[in-house]
Each structure stands twice: as structure tokens, then as C-alpha cells.
A = this chain, B = another copy of it.
Amino acid sequence: MTAVDFGFSVEARDGMARAGHVRTARGVIRTPAFMPVGTAATVKAAWPETVRKAGADILLGNTYHLMLRPGAERVARLGGLHKFMNWPHPILTDSGGFQVMSLSSLRKITEEGVTFRSHHDGSSHAMSPERSIEIQRLLDSDIAMQLDECVALPASRDETARAMELSLRWARRSKDAFLASAPPPGRAIFGIVQGGTEFDLRRASAEGLVEIGFPGYALGGLAVGEPQPVMFETIAATTPHLPQDRPRYLMGVGKPSDIVGAVARGIDMFDCVIPTRSGRNGQAFTRQGTLNIRNAKHAEDQGPLDSRCHCPACRDYSRAYIHHLVKSQEILGAMLMTAHNLTYYQDLMVGLRSAIRRGRLAAFVEAFEAGGADY
């Protein structure tokens, strides 16, 4: 593989929205991009080929899960995460911070970092900006994330400000550790904007990160319970303070309507467990909205989940069959629902990218909201 520098090119704009490419050593990511989540080194219930055929250019791996099992040093000894999980394409790893806050127990946060106990076995672990970056280098991810502090909600303005400022200091330490790790060409680290739904804190966070300087910027701490309009307003209040020539990643988002609205406000990258987790629970995304395949009305429906979908589940299987499988708790039910939902999400991104390039995003959003977008 020829060494390639990490880069981002915006090739079309429509309002605040952008379409382009992120370039990494392991391949190009078409933006706006949706990253399926491969928590424990697998996108649950999917062969990697299925994820790729759905249209994914990049996956997300969870540092918290992988450091606990099988362990970052073990993954490194086995040749890195890409080889381990048979995904030769780009991988973004999160910092582990969010899952430490949401899954582990006995957390203690200091200036240095966070100590916690594993949700698997109660074992003690420590995470600092430096250790998070070390783990992400051991996994050999293409895009690493800084360690940040995600405050638990509800949080006061003071608490939100304190966590944002700590995250800024950790951003500098994360970047320093990343550079000190001598990453091969084509890798990048992103900073993470915090500040809750306080616009001035978001602005201060963004400006602080830009001063440090990152190849890409994420928005963390959104889609954590606030109403969708508040999330949209916070995005719109933040992106003007981020450079035009760097990708913007909205972490952990979201429902299709969240993605459409965020793209219109200048976001380039997304990750979320919704398509996979909801799929395993029986919720299918379609161009006509969501459906619960467990509903009895599907028991003899010979049609596909979505008549305009080209995925293997829609090509070869009826709603009636998938209803039967999901009701019977058959693994193939999870496999078909996952393949479909991942394809739906990627098709939505194809539609958004195409609409931006044609200068038709407003019409796309309107049609999407009416349940009839051309994607």
C-alpha cells in the first residue's frame, strides 16, 4: 500500500451541507458517511461482507469493550483490529470515555484520567488520554478520538463547563500522545466538542480545539435525551466555529431523521447502534417509516420489508418469513433485519450525498419528511 496522508475534500455544498471524501491509508470514505458500530470487533449478526455490500466505507470500534475483551495488547499481537475482524477498510475507534461513563462502575474522575471497574468481571482499570491513545494505536485504528468527559444528565451549567474544560485539556494531551506514538501515514485523531446544549460553551470548546488543531472535529454529548430541535440548534450553533476544511462527526447519532437534519446543518460523519440493535429487536427502517416485524399484520405478508430496497433480505425473503423468524427468536431473523437496516442507512446516505451534489437537499429533506424521498 502506498503511504497516503489523511485528508478531507469538500466537493459540493448545498446550504450548510457538504459532500466529499475523507482519505485514509485504508481507503476513502464518502461523506456524509454512516459508520456501523462493531462494538466487540463484530457488527452484531453480520458477516463483514454483508456490511460492506450494504455500502459501508468505515466501521466504528469501541475502545472500552475491546480493551476489556479480548484486550488491546492481544489484538495488537494478533495483527491489529482490521486483520482480527476481517475488515480491511477504515475503522474509527472511540476513546472509550463514553462507555466508561455509561457502562462501568465505581468511576472516579481526576485531572489525570478515570479509574473504573469492568462491567464484565469487576476488574479495576485506569484510563487516561495517553492510555486511550495507546489502546487505539494498538488496535491500529485509522481515526482515533481524544478522551473526553461526557457528563451524566441532567447536568448543571457549572458541571457542563467543568467537563468541557477538562475535555479541552485532555484534547491537548490526546493529540500530544497521538503525535508521540509516531502513527503511520494516513491516520488521524479527532477532537471532541463538548458543552451540552449551552451554545457559548460549545463555541468555547470548538475554538479551544481549533487552537490545538485537529484533522477532524466531533460533536459529543448530543442525542442523550434532549429534544431533536435542541440538538439541531446546538449543531447549528457549533459548526460555524469549526473549520470548513475538516470533517465533522456527530457521535452516536442517530435515527434517520436525526441524520437528515444534521447533514443539513453541516455534519459529515455519523455512527449509531440503532440500525443493528433495533433490527435485532424487530424494528425495520423503510422508505415509508419504521415497522415492527413482530406485528401480527405481517404474518402472511408476502412483500419485502421495503419494496425499493436491494438488500438480500428484501430480495429473497418476505415479511411473513422474517416475522416468523423474529417471533421464533431465530438467529437468521437478526441477520436479515441487520442486513436490511444497514442497507437502509447506507442508501439514505447515498441519497443525501446525491442530493447535495445536485443542489437538491431541501427537496430531499421535504420528501424524506413526507415519506417519499427518491433514494
Please report A residues at the B interface, Cβ cutoff 8 Å. 40-42, 44-47, 69-70, 74, 77-79, 84-86, 299-300, 302, 312, 316-318, 320-321, 324-325, 327-328, 330-332, 334-335
Contacts and interface: CB of A to CB of B under 8 A. Distances in A.
Interface centre among A312, A327, A328, A332 (most CB of B within 10 A): A332
A42 B332 CA distance: 7
B85 A321 contact: yes
A69 B327 contact: yes
List the number of copies, as a whole number.
2
A40 B46 CA distance: 21
Contacts of A299: 70, 74
B44 A320 contact: no
Given A47-B335, A86-B317, A321-B84, A78 B330 contact: no
Given A321-B85, A324-B69, A40 B330 contact: yes
Question: Is chain A's interface secondary structure helix, strand, loop, or mixed overall?
Answer: loop
25 contacts: A40-B324, A41-B324, A41-B325, A42-B330, A42-B332, A44-B330, A44-B332, A45-B331, A45-B332, A46-B332, A47-B312, A47-B332, A47-B335, A69-B324, A70-B299, A74-B300, A78-B318, A78-B320, A78-B321, A84-B318, A84-B321, A85-B321, A86-B316, A86-B317, A331-B335
A171 B74 CA distance: 59
A197 to B, nearest CB: 35
A357 B312 CA distance: 39
A324 B65 CA distance: 12
Give the 8 A-B residue pairs with the shortest CB-CB distance, closest first. A45-B331, A42-B332, A70-B324, A86-B316, A40-B328, A42-B330, A78-B320, A84-B321
